[in-house]
Structures are given as C-alpha cells and as structure tokens.
Amino acid sequence: MTYIGPLDLKKKAAIIAVILEKPLETSKKAAEIGADILEIRLDLLGIRDRDTATETIRKVKSETGLPVIITNRSYIEGGKWDGQEAERIGLIKDLLTLRDGPDAVDIELSIDEDERDKAVESAKNNGKTVIISSHDFSKTPSFTEMKATIEDAFIAGADIAKLAVMPQSMKNVMDLLRVTLDFGGAGRAICTIAMGDLGKHTRVIAPFYGSVLTYASVENTILTPPGQLPVDKLKKIMELLE
C-alpha cells in the first residue's frame, strides 16, 4: 500500500494541484475544483525560511483538509531555488519534522547522494511519503534507460518513483506508457509524465497504465508547465474513462 495522507494510491490515482502562487487562495480554489492533493512549490512561491513555510503549510491544510506535498525544486530539475544547496535541503528536512506539516516530499534523484539520503531519512523517520523524481526537459530517454532511472529511484528510498520526460514523437510517448505498465502492473508505485503538447494526454491516461499520481494546474499562468491540464477538466475526463 502507498499512501499520501489518508489517500490509498493503490486504490485510485490522485490528482495533484500544483500551487505556484498565492498559496492559500490558490489551494482553496484547488480544493473546490476537485484536487486530491496539493503540491506546495516552495521554490516558485519564493519561500526561503522555516517559519513562513510552516505557517503556509498549516494554513493550507487547515483551510482545505487536503494532504500536502512539499517540493523545493533545484534549478537543474527545472526549479527556481536560488540559495545554497545545503539550505534548500535543510529547509526540506526541517519541515518534515513537523507533526502537522507536510504529508510527503518530492526530492530529486539527481542531487548529491548524501544530501538526498538525509532528506529521505528525515521523511522516513517522521512517517512521510517519499517521492524521488527525475526530469528530462529535452528528450525521452530509451525504454531501458527510463526503467533504470525508476529502479535507481526505488533503490534511493522512493515510496513513489516519478519520471517526467519530453517526447519528440508518439513512439516516445508509447515507450513511457510501456514503462508505466511494466512497473504499475507489478504493483510498484510510480508516477510518469510526458510533458508538452505531444504528451498532454498522458496526464489523463497514464493512471490507467499504473501511474499513481497525475499533476494539474489551478490557474493557467506563465509558471504552468507545458501540457498540464486544469484540475477540474482533468478530473472530469478521468471520471468519464473509469
């Protein structure tokens, strides 16, 4: 079983609303239009200190009743954190110790192994779900390479291994879905995303191949990742296909 908060992701894939700005206002709207989980993007919100982060997370959880994932994304993986790496990981570790804090954390596979292990250890010690993610914004690696990346994420301690790629062809998309089916069909908790317009439909169908999470937007802004669908539209399409 794989949970984020009270949600059993093996029973039903969850729609995650990505909170990029105005955290309390946007989170309340996300809850209203059907999000299952909120991802608080500390780097995009410009949150740099524990007190602000703690207050934000507690208010969001109190007002919405939804589980929260914290993400403090590095530049190399498409994030906007502009401080020291030790400070980035330190903030994550601090927040994971909060009893009424985040329910899960998304940490990058690509970062320094020792720093990553510290964050994973903090999450595990405090009963938080660990998502270990890898992003390729330029291409889709080969089928074999994608499988190896996901295996590496599990070896690193992932409860959920997340892989996002940029397809250049429909074959790339099909290869990603094959990877999804291989792991999901074996009962392993993964999240897969084909980014951009070419992969937009994977936001809807990847859960039917075994992806336990899919990401959606609350409002369309310049920060919204390419190919990400609005929460309410994504939810409606998925319900039609169930």
DSSP 99-135: TTS-SEEEEETTS-HHHHHHHHHHHHHTT-EEEEEEE
Rounded to whole angstroms, the Cα distance separating 106 from 17 reads 14
How do beta strands 7-8 and 3-4 pair?
antiparallel
Closest CA to 123 of 83, 147, 157, 76: 157
Catalytic, 233? Answer no
Closest CA to 203 of 155, 241, 171, 168: 241
Catalytic residue among 29, 61, 162, 235: 162
- Spell 109-134 as b/e; 16+ CB within 10 A means b: bbbeeebbebbbebbeebebbbbbbb
Catalytic, 128? Answer no
Catalytic residue among 61, 93, 128, 135: 135
State the Cα torsion 117-119-125-130 to the nearest 10°.
-90
Closest CA to 121 of 92, 160, 152, 145: 92
Rounded to whole angstroms, the Cα distance separating 154 from 152 reads 5
Q: Which residues are catalytic?
A: 135, 162
